[in-house]
Chains A and B, each alone.
Chain A
Amino acid sequence: MPQSNPPLWWSKPSAILRYAIAGLSVAIAVVVVRLVVIFLHTEPFVSVFLCMIMFVAWFGGFGPGLFATALSLWAFDYYLVAPINSFTLKFNSFAMEINEFPRIVLFTIAALFANLLSAAQRGAAESLRRSRDDMLAAIEDQRRIEGALRQSETYLAEAQRLSHTGSFGWGVSSGEISWSEETFRIFGYDKAVSATVDMVLQRVHPEDLALVQRIIDRATSDGKDFDFEHRLLLPGGSVKHVHVVAHGVSDLSGRTKFVGAVMDVTERKRAEEALHAENAERIRAEEALRNAQADLARAARLTTMGELAASIAHEVNQPLMAIVTNADTSLRWLAQDPPDLDEARQAAERIVRAGHRAGDIIRTIHALARKSTPEMTRFDVNAAIADVLTLTRGELRRHDLLLETELAADLEPVLGDRGQMQQVILNLIVNGIEAMNAGMHRPRMLRVSSEMAGPGNVLIAVADTGMGLDPAKADHIFDAFFTTKPEGMGMGLAICRSIVETHGGRLWASPNSPRGSIFQFTVPVATNGLLNDSSG
């Protein structure tokens, strides 16, 4: 069958043409009759005209047929009614020869009958033709729809292949499973008409078999939607991850059918696993870095404290000395006769006070020296400074240095690792002491201060009257391994800056007036309620 619409073998001619053909046909008939009369000496008027009328009625339909009939009658009148070959008035039919009348009537009836038959035949042929045309058009439509459907199916299969998503239908009671091409591919089967639950179970990873079986059982019993992921173990040994989603529907007879999709999520899973592993690795690396930084900071802290060992020992020794003296005194009062219990008690109270003081110092040393991972807490900066000053007081005195403190009373608690903050303060104080020891300038005064620096920050400053910073080296004092001391490692200030910046603060140095330098740093205050308080 040709692709395009076939040209109609008959298209209905226009009315003018049909009537013109009718007139022309009558004229031809007249000519034929005349020729026959001349050459054959017979008169076939009726048969020729009937033929002509049949043709016209077939060709042009009922109207042109009637028209041709009328013209025929007129011709009849002209040629056969006396006076012959004349259009003189012949309205007096009685003037007609009486034997002509039945011929006219018979001719008219025959003509009308031929006319009707031809028109009816014509109509039937027309109707048949239209039916055929309609059928052809219907076939064409069908073909087009089939084409569109095929294309749509191709698109769907392509989309399923691209998205690694297969579809399925599962009639629970009948056990019938229909799979799309992609579903067959995902499960590693050749394309077939239908599938079975067993085919699914054969491919399910042994470790997930119980899960899949459980979900199939549940879906069978309750007919509810399901959505889960499991693994497939294919014959080649490769493992796939699939995500199955299905919607349960009941047909008119109450049978449950699931319509769903199987998505091959293996690549996504692998990417997720890789990302996960990468994250874990990064977290481990960060943890290791933090630990290394904490270890380095602690090593630096212990080094600084080692430098202060003699002074710290003295600080511990002072209260111990007081304790021994007071204990001796107490015993003396008790040895008297009678014992002076009041004096003995006063001495004992002094022992208690000195003992607490010694304990506080030991605790401070321990807090600074212990190995601990950095812990962010809220704490009072002034109390932290006071602890550091306890440890350094002996050192200041040993070097005959004056200490001035100006700790603001309105400080808000800060957020940070108290030990590391104390390390920074300790480091700056020790640096100040060393700077002043190097020169002979007087007075030798170390000034430690704290204050609120704008909203949200506490500023801590350590100022000395030492030799001051060499402007040429000022830019490098915070660099690692930069040192001006022969025995120094050059890590102190670098670690200090690292600690301060980790806490979200800033550490910098500037010249003191009239001499020396000021090291100061900021620490952000703790926002309310985030962390537990750490007692000073």
Chain B
Amino acid sequence: MTVVDKEPEARVADIDDDPDIREAVRGLLRSVRLHVELFASVQEFLATARPDLPECLVLDVRLPGRSGLDLQDELAKANLHLPVIFISGHADVGSGHEIRCGRVPDQT
């Protein structure tokens, strides 16, 4: 799943269950020279052994099984403060108080 660019400057993990969105995000970030790892679910992200954490997370708010918000909570509890970018296609998501940090406007 991992594609390494010629000159990687930063590593980003994208978790989204929609393959089209995943591919689109990877393509976009590659155009700004970011190395992207793609995961279909939080479980898959957690199950993948890594030497170090990514520098940024791109999360779909609503994921099957454990949601992006759950993961953010877990990371916060583990005192791991990563910048998180939430994206969502759902119009009913985005109430700010749920997303405690790294808040960015939805792309939609």
Give Cα distance in the complex from A467 to B72, angstroms: 32
Distance A357 CA – B23 CA, assembled complex (angstroms): 14
Cα A256 to Cα B72 in complex, Å, equals 111
Closest Cβ neighbor of B31 among chain A residues: A332
Total interface residues on B, using CB and 8 Å? 24
User: Judging by beta carbons under 8 Å apart, are A313 and B20 in contact?
Assistant: no
Among A302-322, those with CB < 8 Å from B are 310, 313-314, 317-319, 321-322
B30 contacts A343, C-beta separation under 8 Å: yes
Determine whether B90 belongs to the interface, using a CB cutoff of 8 Å to chain A: yes
Instruction: Give residues 1-51 of B contacting A (CB, 8 Å).
Output: 17-18, 20-21, 23-25, 27-28, 30-32
B64 pairs with A400, CB closer than 8 A: yes
A398 with B27, Cβ < 8 A, contacts A322-B20, A354-B20 known: no
Query: Which partner residue on chain A sits nearest B106 by CB separation?
Result: A321
* Residue pair B21, A322 in contact (C-beta under 8 Å): yes
Complex Cα gap A347–B30 (Å): 11
Closest to B23 in A: A350
A328 to B30, CA, bound (A): 12
Q: Does B102 contact A (CB under 8 A)?
A: no
Interface check A130, CB cutoff 8 A: no
B89 touches A318 (CB 8 A): yes
Give me 20 other A-B pairs in contact (C-beta within 8 A), A310-B90, A329-B27 excluded. A310-B91, A314-B90, A319-B20, A321-B21, A324-B107, A325-B21, A325-B25, A325-B27, A325-B28, A325-B107, A328-B28, A329-B28, A329-B31, A332-B31, A333-B31, A343-B31, A347-B27, A350-B23, A350-B27, A398-B62
Q: Is B52 an interface residue (CB 8 A)?
A: no
Residue of B24, B63, B64 contacting most chain A CB atoms (<10 Å): B24
Q: Are A346 and B89 in contact (CB under 8 A)?
A: no
- Complex Cα distance, B21 from A397, in Å, reads 15
In angstroms, Cα B32 to Cα A418, docked, is 47
Q: Which of A317, A328, A400 contacts B108 (CB 8 A)?
A: A317
Contacts of B65 in A (CB 8 A): 400, 402
Which residue of B32, B92, B107 is within 8 Å of A332 (Cβ)? B32
The winner among A313, A325, A354, A397 for most chain B CB atoms within 10 A is A325
Report A-chain residues with C-beta under 8 Å of the C-beta of B20: 318-319, 322, 350, 353-354, 357
In this assembly, does A326 line the interface, its C-beta being within 8 Å of a C-beta of chain B?
yes
Q: Which residues of A contact B90 (CB under 8 A)?
A: 310, 314, 398
Assembled-state Cα–Cα distance A397/B91 (Å): 14
Contact among B30, B64, B89 for A402, CB-based, below 8 A? B64
Decide if B27 touches A326 in the complex (CB within 8 Å). Answer: yes
Q: Complex Cα distance A213/B33, Å?
A: 99
Residues of A within 8 A of B17 (CB): 397
- Interface size range of chain A in the complex: 20 to 34
CA distance A321 to B27 in the complex (A): 13
Query: In the docked arrangement, what's the CA distance between A354 and B17, Å?
Result: 15
Bound-state CA distance A324–B89 (Å) is 12
Which 3 residue pairs spanning A and B have beta carbons closest together?
Answer: A325-B24, A322-B20, A332-B31
Whether A321 touches B108, Cβ cut-off 8 Å, given contacts A357-B20, A397-B64, is yes
Min CB distance B32 to A, Å, is 7
The contact sample of 29 A-B pairs, CB cut-off 8 A, is: A310-B91, A314-B89, A317-B89, A318-B18, A318-B20, A321-B87, A321-B107, A321-B108, A322-B20, A323-B24, A325-B21, A325-B25, A325-B27, A325-B28, A326-B28, A329-B24, A329-B30, A329-B31, A332-B28, A343-B30, A346-B27, A347-B27, A350-B23, A397-B62, A397-B64, A398-B62, A400-B65, A400-B67, A402-B65
Give residues 341-359 of A contacting B (CB, 8 Å): 343, 346-347, 350, 353-354, 357
Closest Cβ neighbor of B108 among chain A residues: A321
**Which of chain B's residues have a CB closer than 8 A to the CB of A325?**
21, 24-25, 27-28, 107
For A322, the chain B residues whose CB sits under 8 A away are: 18, 20-21, 23-24
Nearest opposing residue in chain A for B27, CB measure:
A329
The residue on A at minimum CB distance from B29 is: A329
Contact with A along B54-94 (1 / 0, CB 8 A): 00000000111101000000000000000000010111100
Closest CB of chain A to B96's CB: distance in Å? 20
A325 to B67, CA, bound (A): 22
Chain B, residue nearest A347 (CB): B27
**Residues of B contacting A397 in the complex (Cβ-Cβ under 8 angstroms):** 17, 62-64
Q: Which residues of A contact B32 (CB under 8 A)?
A: 332
Q: Given A325-B107, A328-B28, A397-B62, decide whether A313 and B23 contact each other with a Cβ distance below 8 A.
A: no
Q: How far is the CA of A310 from the CA of B92 in the complex (A)?
A: 9
> Which residues of the other chain, A, contact B21 by a CB distance below 8 angstroms?
318, 321-322, 325
Chain B residues whose C-beta falls within 8 Å of the C-beta of A319 in the assembled complex: 20
Q: How far is the CB of B28 from chain A (nearest CB, A)?
A: 5
Q: How far is the CB of A330 from chain B (nearest CB, A)?
A: 8
Q: Is the CB of B23 within 8 A of A321?
A: no
Q: What's the least CB distance linking B23 to chain A, in Å?
A: 6
Instruction: Tell me which of A322, A332, A333 has the highest count of chain B C-beta atoms within 10 A of its own C-beta.
Output: A322
List residues of A (285-315) whose CB comes within 8 Å of B's CBs: 310, 313-314
A326: min CB distance to chain B, Å: 5
**A353 closest partner in B (C-beta):** B20
Q: Please measure, in the bound complex, the distance between the C-alpha atom of A487 and the C-alpha atom of B92, giving whole angstroms.
A: 22
Q: How far is the CA of A328 from the CA of B62 in the complex (A)?
A: 24
